[in-house]
């Protein structure tokens, strides 16, 4: 199953890709979750990632961000090779992610979550000055406003509805101002009515910051509407990569991805 | 923002007030002891272990001893020279406290000291060492009754602190002398002692005393199981394999009994000569005394219990105790008796000297210093530590089982001057220097 | 440097509390003041335990550091002839901090019950060493700590307890403010973040191990200070400090008070030690049972600690 | 050398008996029970009390063993369900520290309770120990009772293994250990499994106590030592692991025997040093499983 080079169609820019995966391979026991994946992303791209459950989408994100070490292959960031990544080094490079199940500080308020993300970004870990000082509070409020979380600032995260949690999860990664942001199923667990509002908020904020964004998504309407480029994963391989209309129109993708995805 | 600031500030103040309120609610100050006003009665704080592993062998027998003595003293039913009711006519009231009381021994001591006139107590050497300086600060006459460490008056001198028993060094010096004269062909000595100060010091004193008496005796590596370890089978088999002539042990309480239970069937007590320096209480344990074989050298940390000299006081004490508690008094009861009677003697001497029914603490201290007084264990003299530390004779005997009854035979008595170091010499040095000045030792 | 308004507020709060306690010291009877001295000193160790709990680390061996602090004071006096209390306390803090720096990288890899167990193991190793090398440590009988001068002032025996009360209070104030400032600082929040979600923390680009290590060292320093204060006040140090039951008491007091505010563990300690003291005085034969039962009731009815009572109260009034 | 091995195995058997209940309880309930030592003490008291009360010289030896066993069963079957239902039940799903301290409070309470019931004077039940006599191994006599302990430990170990792997209850227990929520969803009566598992753990603790009773003087204070000892063994082996407890006991037993024979001074510190070393190289203990969070 060679990737459909044919429909790569559109000429790629000649400048160095911001992020490139080269021959990433990862196996868990009998399952090959990531099968020789090579793919590149340019600055400012908005890429949708589709595929049935267990196709290796999340594993791809995990490997790229260093949560899982690949068996072979490596990452190139702005043309430089990196192996032995950890989430922390990935973030320091400029590769951040969000999570399918939001990873938040449940016992803290929304504002405090945002403040922590900003404090880490600004490397104020060891400062003895309070976390909540005027300037930091302004920054955090601005961040929350941008993601329309302003009114929820003082709510303890544990009490927050799922949709808001997803947004906060993304906002915290966004606060790091990464060059590449990988969103793992930003709309899963969010009601159908809220999905587009959520994606509008998120993509609006991201577009302003000119980040390269990959988002894993099961809802094809969402993919169609927001992604300009789509990757289709099946059994650990990328079976299609191209303009969203082309990929979503491809017969094999329709059979292997959409058939399963719609049934799921 | 401003408002929030104010709110937080108010919260901080309220928090501070709430914390203080809680603190003061739990720490209601009590009025200071009315010690110096004319007392209708004397309150005596009695501190022994009422919980934990030391309660059964030491703490409870000591408390019982105090209870029966103080009651009898108030009734005036003691034999001479203690026939006066109370302390020279003043009624005495005990206030019992668990030596394991929290939060720490010193806080507990200070609380007790604030509400009583005198304190008698402390079995643990650690507690004695830490309470002594606190007694000086509280200026409370405190009689240490059982702990054994020589460090108290060897390293320091105290005005308010007295100890009416000899140090553990005396027990071990006497044990070495007894063993040495009883087994003249002694070649190897080993030991099994608990791995804490009591066991470590006992072994050090015993082994160096043996070495000092006869430098040719070989001292084997001794066993040091953790205190309350429960199972000693590894140590016993090691000792059996090494097969020394003499095995020394300062085990007490459950550990001593466990050693007997586990060691006796294996022949530990018949293969080697075993010395139990604190073994006497076992004889009063009906369930276990029958395990005790013949030929075990037993001590009672002084001339107590079956090793007590014959006198009226002992006859009265052991009978009164046995009548009330259905068991013979063990040495901790005797140690308690020494403390109570010493204090009574000092108080009455101070009354006579000051021509007052209520002498001051200073006057009692003056009377107590260098005092000699009668006890069920004979005459005790406060000869060391500038008159604050008692010297005691020592006694050892060897068990003999006859018709299922264990008695002590071949009892040897070691007069004070044979086993106690003179004033100004540390026990350790006295042993190392071959007991200079020791005399009247029995052959 | 301009002091932050938030920290100024905290400082004022601490000063107020210390001032009230200072006045209380004039009014309390000798032994209650001593009990409070011990409790305030000990509360610093309990704050240390609570601080670790906020970072998700349950220390069942914090006695390690109070023993190190206490023995540092004893050795500082005996070996180096230091007799100035503040210097001795500095030695105590330095010694415990150094130890934490040495073993922290190893210990901070552990979480939950494993952290509890490895910290317990370390403190029991120290306990056994103190017991074993009795010629150097005094064994189980411990070592004496004689009266020290405070800022060069040599107090008379009768006044010493009072002087130590105010010394403890001063150290307590400084430590409490430092803790309050730490709780409010990014590092304080990051420690809570570790407890809530380590993965997110790493994905923010912060190091979980560095944050836990920081908390561990701070807790060790506080506990070392606590041990040093205990050594001075009680005048005696012994290996009991490193025994696991002591660390268990610290945990108990921390949970009793709560962990949400720096003052909460202090309340927990004062209540715990007072209960301990009064119960053992009035029920000498069953005081441990009574203590256990009361503790149980409090833990089950107020899982967030006594301090949650106050929080509920103030929340109702703010609303 | 033989001596070290024999002593090591004897000690390992004893310590396994004493600590295996702790690891079982942790496995199912996820609670590290500090009161485990108290349950051991209660077992020792009940067993010793029955032997003292009903066993007269001249009676068959088997009766004394039956009495010890009965003591363990009575103590465990009474206390186990009582503690689990009335106390631990309220702590499930709560903070680990809280659970730890609830059992710590229980430890304080049970300590005084034993004292109230049995007093402070010791109980002696050495009849089974001394009646069995000795056996010589390489010129050194060993009590036969130690062989009984080895046999009992092996029986308990194998029995538990069979129960876990070969019975329906064992499978239910394994399911609950694996995932409590899924088990509930599958219709397993999780509270009942917890009660039964805790009761088995209590019986085992009491069994350890009851069969130790003949070798010691049963007095207040025997609970404290056992707690840290079993903690160490169970942590070394891996919390919740039966095989771990067995191997942990063996390691501690042999290490201690080596210390006693070669470096008697270091007996005290051995167990903690072993614990630190094992934890450094195997943070979850020898048989513990590391948990990896899925994203």
Domains of chain D are 2-281 (1.10.3470)
Q: Which residues of C touch D273 (CB under 8 A)?
A: 125
In a domain, A131, yes or no: yes
Torsion of CA D262, D265, D267, D271, to 10 degrees: -110
- What is the DSSP code (8-state) at residue B322? H
pLDDT at B403: 86
pLDDT at B39: 61
User: Once rounded to an integer, what is the mean pLDDT over residues B65-78?
Assistant: 95
Q: Quick one: what percent of chain C has pLDDT higher than 70?
A: 99
Angstrom distance (rounded) from CA D15 to CA C213: 35
- Find, among D235, D289, D207, the residue nearest to D23 by Cα: D235
Question: Distances in Å between the alpha carbon of A181 and those of A12, A121, A170, C58, C136?
Answer: 20, 15, 9, 35, 60
Residue C43 Cα, gap to closest chain A Cα (Å): 22
Determine the residue of chain C that is closest to D231 in CA distance: C117
A92 touches chain D (CB under 8 A): no
Binding-site residues on chain A for chain C (CB distance < 8 A): 65, 67, 86-88, 91-92, 96-97, 103-108, 112, 115-117, 119-121, 124-133, 172-173, 176
Q: Measure the CA angle with vertex A111, ends A106 and A115; round to 5°.
A: 100
Contacts of residue A145, defined as CB under 8 A and 6 or more positions apart, other chains included, come to none
Q: How many domains does chain C have?
A: 1
Domain assignment of residue B83, given as a range:
41-167+310-391
* H helix or E strand, kind and range, residue D9: helix D2-29
Q: How confident is the model at residue A3 (pLDDT cuts 50, 70, 90)?
A: very low
Residue B119 has which token pair? 């304190």
pLDDT at D291: 62
pLDDT at A258: 73
Decide if pLDDT at B3 tops 50.
Answer: no
Residue B335 has which token pair? 């140690």
Angstrom distance (rounded) from CA D288 to CA D66: 35
User: Once rounded to an integer, what is the mean pLDDT over residues D69-79?
Assistant: 96
Judge if A10 and A80 occupy the same domain: yes
In a domain, A99, yes or no: no
Judge if B74 and B192 occupy the same domain: no
Q: How confident is the model at residue B51 (pLDDT cuts 50, 70, 90)?
A: confident
Residues 149-208 of D with CB under 8 A from B: none
Q: Do B52 and D220 touch (CB under 8 A)?
A: yes
**What pairs with residue B92 in β-bridges?**
B42
Higher pLDDT among residues D90 and B26, named by residue: D90
Judge if A186 and A237 occupy the same domain: yes
A100 touches chain D (CB under 8 A): yes
In this structure, chain B runs to a length of 443
pLDDT at C312: 86
Least confident of A132-146, A183-197, B49-63, C174-188: A183-197
Higher pLDDT among residues C7 and B131, named by residue: B131
Residue C252 Cα, gap to closest chain D Cα (Å): 6
Read off the CATH number of the domain in which A234 is found: 3.40.50.300
Q: How confident is the model at residue A14 (pLDDT cuts 50, 70, 90)?
A: low
Q: Each residue of C95-117: pLDDT tens digit?
A: 999 999 999 999 988 887 889 98
Q: Do C189 and A131 touch (CB under 8 A)?
A: yes
In a domain, A229, yes or no: yes
Say if residues B119 and B112 touch (Cβ distance below 8 Å).
yes
Q: How confident is the model at residue B12 (pLDDT cuts 50, 70, 90)?
A: low
Angstrom distance (rounded) from CA B407 to CA B385: 36
Decide if pLDDT at B202 tops 50.
Answer: yes
Render C288-302 in DSSP notation, one character per residue. Answer: HHHHHHHHHHHHHH-
Phi-psi region of D22 (alpha: psi -120 to 50; beta: other; left: phi over 0): alpha
Q: How confident is the model at residue A30 (pLDDT cuts 50, 70, 90)?
A: confident
Judge if B292 and B353 occupy the same domain: no
Residue B385 Cα, gap to closest chain D Cα (Å): 33
Judge if A50 and A128 occupy the same domain: no
User: Once rounded to an integer, what is the mean pLDDT over residues B303-313?
Assistant: 93
Angstrom distance (rounded) from CA C289 to CA C283: 10
pLDDT at B24: 55
User: Once rounded to an integer, what is the mean pLDDT over residues B113-117?
Assistant: 94
Higher pLDDT among residues B113 and D282, named by residue: B113
Decide if pLDDT at B416 tops 50.
Answer: yes
Say if residues D128 and D68 touch (Cβ distance below 8 Å).
yes
B404 touches chain D (CB under 8 A): no
- What is the DSSP code (8-state) at residue B330? -
Judge if B236 and B173 occupy the same domain: yes
User: Once rounded to an integer, what is the mean pLDDT over residues B397-403?
Assistant: 93
Q: How confident is the model at residue B31 (pLDDT cuts 50, 70, 90)?
A: very low
Q: How confident is the model at residue C5 (pLDDT cuts 50, 70, 90)?
A: confident
Q: C: neighbours with 3+ CB pairs under 8 Å?
A: A, B, D
Q: How many domains does chain A have?
A: 2
Say if residues C251 and D101 touch (Cβ distance below 8 Å).
yes
Domain assignment of residue A206, given as a range:
5-94+178-263
The structure tokens 């089982």 sit at B401
> Terminus-to-terminus CA distance in chain C, angstroms?
36
User: Once rounded to an integer, what is the mean pLDDT over residues C83-106?
Assistant: 96
- Where is mean pLDDT largest: A159-163, B134-138, B161-165, B181-185? B161-165
User: Once rounded to an integer, what is the mean pLDDT over residues D19-42?
Assistant: 93
In a domain, C179, yes or no: yes
C69 touches chain A (CB under 8 A): no
In a domain, B232, yes or no: yes
Residue D195 Cα, gap to closest chain B Cα (Å): 30
- What is the DSSP code (8-state) at residue B309? P
Angstrom distance (rounded) from CA D211 to CA D129: 10
Say if residues B210 and B241 touch (Cβ distance below 8 Å).
no
Q: In what order do the strands lie in the sheet with A180-184?
A: A95-97, A180-184, A212-216, A46-50, A229-234, A237-243
Judge if A62 and A113 occupy the same domain: no
Read off the CATH number of the domain in which B299 is found: 3.40.50.2300
Q: Do D143 and B266 touch (CB under 8 A)?
A: yes
Q: Which residues of C touch D91 (CB under 8 A)?
A: 300
Judge if B275 and B422 occupy the same domain: yes
The structure tokens 């090779």 sit at A81
Rg (CA), chain D: 19
Residue C148 has which token pair? 């020290």
Judge if B163 and B244 occupy the same domain: no
Q: A: neighbours with 3+ CB pairs under 8 Å?
A: C, D
Q: D: neighbours with 3+ CB pairs under 8 Å?
A: A, B, C
Judge if B224 and B294 occupy the same domain: yes
Question: Distances in Å between the alpha carbon of B158 and those of A192, A253, B134, C231, D159?
Answer: 84, 94, 10, 20, 62
Mean pLDDT across chain C, nearest whole number? 92
Q: Each residue of D85-102: pLDDT tens digit?
A: 999 988 888 888 888 889
Looking at the partner chain, which of C6, C189, C197 has a beta carbon nearest the beta carbon of A112?
C189
- What is the DSSP code (8-state) at residue A15? S
Judge if B121 and B56 occupy the same domain: yes
Residue A143 has which token pair? 């961040």
Least confident of A6-10, B207-211, D1-5, D248-252: A6-10
Phi-psi region of B370 (alpha: psi -120 to 50; beta: other; left: phi over 0): left
Domain assignment of residue C165, given as a range:
5-242
User: Once rounded to an integer, what is the mean pLDDT over residues B308-322?
Assistant: 94
Decide if pLDDT at B1 tops 90.
Answer: no
Q: Quick one: what percent of chain A has pLDDT higher than 90?
A: 45
In a domain, C311, yes or no: no
Judge if A35 and A51 occupy the same domain: yes
What per-residue string of b and e applies to C162-201 under the rule 16 or more CB within 10 Å gives b?
bbbbebbbebbbebbbbbbbbbbbbbbbbbbbbbbbbebb
Angstrom distance (rounded) from CA B162 to CA C262: 44
- B91: phi then psi, degrees, rounded to nearest 5: -65, 140
Q: Each residue of B323-341: pLDDT tens digit?
A: 999 999 999 999 999 999 9
Q: Which residues of D touch B238 (CB under 8 A)?
A: 3, 7, 260-261, 264
Q: How many domains does chain B have?
A: 2
Judge if B112 and B249 occupy the same domain: no
Q: How confident is the model at residue A189 (pLDDT cuts 50, 70, 90)?
A: confident
pLDDT at D264: 81
Q: Which residues of D touch C297 (CB under 8 A)?
A: none
C209 touches chain A (CB under 8 A): no
- D36: phi then psi, degrees, rounded to nearest 5: -55, -40
Q: Which residues of A touch C202 (CB under 8 A)?
A: 86-88, 91
In a domain, B10, yes or no: no
Judge if A172 and A114 occupy the same domain: yes
pLDDT at A260: 47
Q: Each residue of A55-107: pLDDT tens digit?
A: 888 999 999 999 999 999 999 999 899 888 899 999 999 999 999 999 999 99
Q: What is the pTM of this model?
A: 0.91
Which of A122, A141, A176 is where one domain is finished? A176
In a domain, C289, yes or no: no
- A182: phi then psi, degrees, rounded to nearest 5: -105, 120
Q: In this structure, how many other beta carbons lie within 10 angstroms of the beta carbon of residue C276? A: 23
In a domain, C307, yes or no: no
- D195: phi then psi, degrees, rounded to nearest 5: -60, -45
Cβ contacts from B onto C, under 8 A: 183
pLDDT at D282: 86
In a domain, A217, yes or no: yes
Looking at the partner chain, which of B52, B223, B230 has a beta carbon nearest the beta carbon of D260?
B223
Render C91-137 in DSSP notation, one character per residue. Answer: HHHHHHHHHHHHHHHHHTT--HHHHHHHHHHHHHHHHHHHHH-HHHH
> Terminus-to-terminus CA distance in chain B, angstroms?
92
Residue C50 has which token pair? 């609570």
C4 touches chain A (CB under 8 A): yes
pLDDT at A163: 85
- Find, among B368, B373, B375, B391, the residue nearest to B161 by Cα: B368
Decide if pLDDT at D190 tops 70.
Answer: yes
Q: How confident is the model at residue B30 (pLDDT cuts 50, 70, 90)?
A: very low
Cβ contacts from A onto D, under 8 A: 8
C34 touches chain D (CB under 8 A): no
């Amino acid at each position: 199953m060679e990737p459909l080079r044919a429909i790569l169609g559109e000429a790629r820019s000649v400048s160095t890709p911001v992020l490139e995966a080269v021959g990433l391979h990862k196996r868990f026991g009998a399952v090959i979750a990531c099968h020789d994946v090579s793919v590149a992303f340019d600055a400012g791209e908005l890429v949708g990632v589709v595929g049935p459950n267990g196709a290796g989408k999340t594993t791809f994100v995990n490997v790229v961000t260093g949560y899982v070490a690949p068996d072979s292959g490596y990452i190139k960031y702005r043309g430089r090779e990196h192996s032995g990544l950890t989430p922390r080094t990935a973030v320091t490079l400029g590769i951040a992610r969000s999570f399918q199940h939001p990873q938040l500080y449940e016992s803290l308020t929304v504002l405090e979550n945002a403040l922590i993300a900003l404090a880490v970004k600004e490397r104020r870990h060891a400062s003895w000055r309070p976390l909540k000082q005027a300037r930091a509070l302004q920054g955090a409020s601005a961040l929350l406003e941008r993601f329309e979380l302003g009114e929820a600032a003082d709510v303890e995260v544990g009490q927050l509805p799922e949709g808001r949690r997803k947004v906060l999860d993304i906002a915290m990664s966004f606060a790091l101002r990464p060059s590449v942001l990988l969103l793992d199923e930003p709309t899963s667990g969010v009601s159908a009515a809220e999905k587009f509002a959520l994606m509008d908020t998120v993509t609006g904020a991201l577009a302003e910051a000119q980040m390269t964004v990959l988002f894993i998504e099961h809802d094809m309407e969402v993919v169609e509407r927001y992604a300009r480029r789509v990757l289709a994963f099946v059994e650990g391989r990328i079976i299609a990569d191209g303009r969203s209309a082309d990929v979503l129109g491809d017969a094999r993708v329709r059979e292997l991805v959409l058939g399963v995805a719609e049934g799921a | 923002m401003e408002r929030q600031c104010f709110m937080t500030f108010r919260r901080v103040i309220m928090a501070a007030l709430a914390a203080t309120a809680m603190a003061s609610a739990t720490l209601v100050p009590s009025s200071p002891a009315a010690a110096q006003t004319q007392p209708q009665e004397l309150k005596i704080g009695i501190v022994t272990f009422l919980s934990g592993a030391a309660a059964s062998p030491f703490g409870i027998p000591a408390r019982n001893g105090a209870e029966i003595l103080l009651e009898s003293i108030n009734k005036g039913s003691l034999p001479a020279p203690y026939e006066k009711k109370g302390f020279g006519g003043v009624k005495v009231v005990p206030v019992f406290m668990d030596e394991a009381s929290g939060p720490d021994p010193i806080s507990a001591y200070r609380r007790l000291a604030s509400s009583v006139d005198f304190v008698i107590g402390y079995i643990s050497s650690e507690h004695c060492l830490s309470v002594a300086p606190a007694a000086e600060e509280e200026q409370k006459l405190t009689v240490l009754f059982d702990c054994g460490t020589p460090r108290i008056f060897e390293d320091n001198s105290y005005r308010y602190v007295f100890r009416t028993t000899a140090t553990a060094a005396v027990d071990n010096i006497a044990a070495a002398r007894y063993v040495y004269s009883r087994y003249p062909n002694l070649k190897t000595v080993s030991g099994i002692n608990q791995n804490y100060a009591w066991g470590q010091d006992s072994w050090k004193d015993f082994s160096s005393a043996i070495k000092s008496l006869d430098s040719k005796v070989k001292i084997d590596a001794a066993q040091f199981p953790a205190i309350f370890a429960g199972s000693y089978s590894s140590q016993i088999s090691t000792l059996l394999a090494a097969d020394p002539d003499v095995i020394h042990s300062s085990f007490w309480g459950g550990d001593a009994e466990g050693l007997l239970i586990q060691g006796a069937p294996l022949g530990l007590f018949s293969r080697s000569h075993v010395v139990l320096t604190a073994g006497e209480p076992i004889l009063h344990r009906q369930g276990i005394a029958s395990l005790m074989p013949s030929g075990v050298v037993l001590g009672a940390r002084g001339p107590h219990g079956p090793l007590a000299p014959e006198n009226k006081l002992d006859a009265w004490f052991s009978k009164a105790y046995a009548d009330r508690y259905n068991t013979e008094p063990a040495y901790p009861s005797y140690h308690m008796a020494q403390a109570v009677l010493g204090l009574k003697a000092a108080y009455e001497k101070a009354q006579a000297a000051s021509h007052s029914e209520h002498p001051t603490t200073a006057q009692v201290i003056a009377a107590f210093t260098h005092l000699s007084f009668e006890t069920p264990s004979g005459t005790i003299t406060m000869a060391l530590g500038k008159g604050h530390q008692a010297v005691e004779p020592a006694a050892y005997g060897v068990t003999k089982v006859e018709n299922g009854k264990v008695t002590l035979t071949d009892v040897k008595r070691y007069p004070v001057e044979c086993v106690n170091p003179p004033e100004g010499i540390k026990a350790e040095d006295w042993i190392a220097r071959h007991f200079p000045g020791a005399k009247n030792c029995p052959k | 440097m301009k002091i932050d308004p938030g920290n100024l507020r905290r400082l004022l709060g601490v000063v107020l509390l210390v001032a009230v306690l200072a006045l209380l010291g004039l009014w309390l009877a000798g032994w209650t003041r001593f009990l409070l001295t011990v409790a305030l000193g000990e509360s610093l160790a309990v704050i240390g335990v609570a601080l670790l709990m906020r970072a998700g680390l349950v220390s069942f061996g914090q006695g390690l550091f109070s023993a190190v602090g206490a023995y540092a004071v004893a050795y500082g006096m005996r070996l180096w002839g230091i007799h100035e209390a503040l210097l001795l306390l500095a030695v105590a803090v330095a010694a415990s901090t150094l130890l934490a720096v040495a073993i922290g990288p190893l210990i901070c890899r552990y979480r939950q019950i494993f952290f509890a167990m490895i910290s317990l193991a370390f403190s029991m190793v120290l306990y056994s060493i103190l017991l074993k090398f009795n010629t150097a440590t005094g064994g189980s009988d411990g070592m004496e700590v004689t009266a020290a001068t405070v800022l060069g002032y040599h107090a008379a025996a009768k006044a010493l307890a009072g002087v130590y009360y105010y010394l403890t209070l001063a150290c307590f104030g400084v430590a409490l403010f430092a803790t309050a400032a730490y709780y409010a600082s990014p590092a304080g929040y990051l420690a809570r973040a570790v407890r809530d979600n380590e993965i997110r923390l790493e994905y923010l680009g912060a190091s979980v191990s560095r944050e836990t290590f920081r908390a561990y060292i701070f807790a060790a320093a506080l506990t070392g200070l606590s041990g040093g204060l205990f050594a001075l006040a009680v005048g005696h140090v012994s290996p009991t400090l490193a025994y696991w039951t002591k660390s268990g008491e610290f945990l108990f007091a921390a949970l009793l008070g709560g962990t949400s505010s720096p003052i909460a563990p202090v309340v927990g300690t004062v209540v715990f030690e007072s209960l301990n003291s009064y119960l053992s005085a009035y029920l000498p034969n069953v005081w441990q049972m009574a203590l256990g039962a009361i503790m149980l009731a409090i833990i089950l009815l107020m899982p967030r600690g006594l301090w949650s009572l106050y929080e509920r109260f103030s929340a109702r009034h703010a609303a | 050398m033989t001596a070290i091995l024999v002593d090591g195995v004897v000690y390992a058997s004893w310590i396994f008996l004493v600590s295996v209940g702790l690891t079982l309880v942790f496995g199912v309930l996820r609670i590290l029970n500090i009161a485990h030592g108290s349950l051991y003490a209660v077992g020792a008291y009940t067993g010793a009390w029955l032997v003292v009360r009903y066993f007269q010289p001249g009676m068959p030896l088997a009766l004394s063993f039956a009495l010890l066993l009965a003591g363990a069963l009575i103590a465990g079957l009474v206390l186990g369900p009582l503690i689990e239902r009335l106390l631990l039940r309220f702590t499930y799903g709560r903070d680990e520290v809280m659970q730890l301290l609830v059992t710590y409070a229980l430890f304080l309470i049970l300590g005084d309770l034993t004292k109230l019931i049995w007093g402070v004077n010791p109980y002696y039940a050495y009849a089974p120990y001394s009646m069995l006599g000795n056996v010589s191994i390489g010129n050194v006599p060993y009590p036969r009772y130690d062989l009984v302990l080895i046999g009992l430990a092996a029986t308990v170990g194998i029995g538990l293994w069979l129960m876990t792997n070969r019975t329906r209850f064992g499978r239910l227990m394994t399911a609950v250990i694996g995932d409590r929520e899924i088990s509930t969803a599958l219709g397993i009566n999780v509270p009942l499994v917890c009660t039964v598992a805790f009761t088995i753990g209590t019986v085992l603790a009491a069994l350890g106590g009851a069969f130790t009773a003949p070798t010691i003087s049963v007095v207040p204070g025997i609970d404290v030592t056992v707690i840290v000892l079993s903690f160490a063994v169970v942590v070394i082996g891996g919390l919740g692991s039966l095989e771990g407890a067995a191997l942990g006991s063996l390691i501690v037993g042999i290490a201690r025997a080596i210390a006693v024979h070669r470096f008697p001074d270091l007996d005290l510190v051995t167990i903690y040093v072993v614990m630190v070393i094992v934890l450094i190289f195997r943070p979850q203990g020898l048989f513990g499983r590391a948990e990896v969070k899925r994203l």
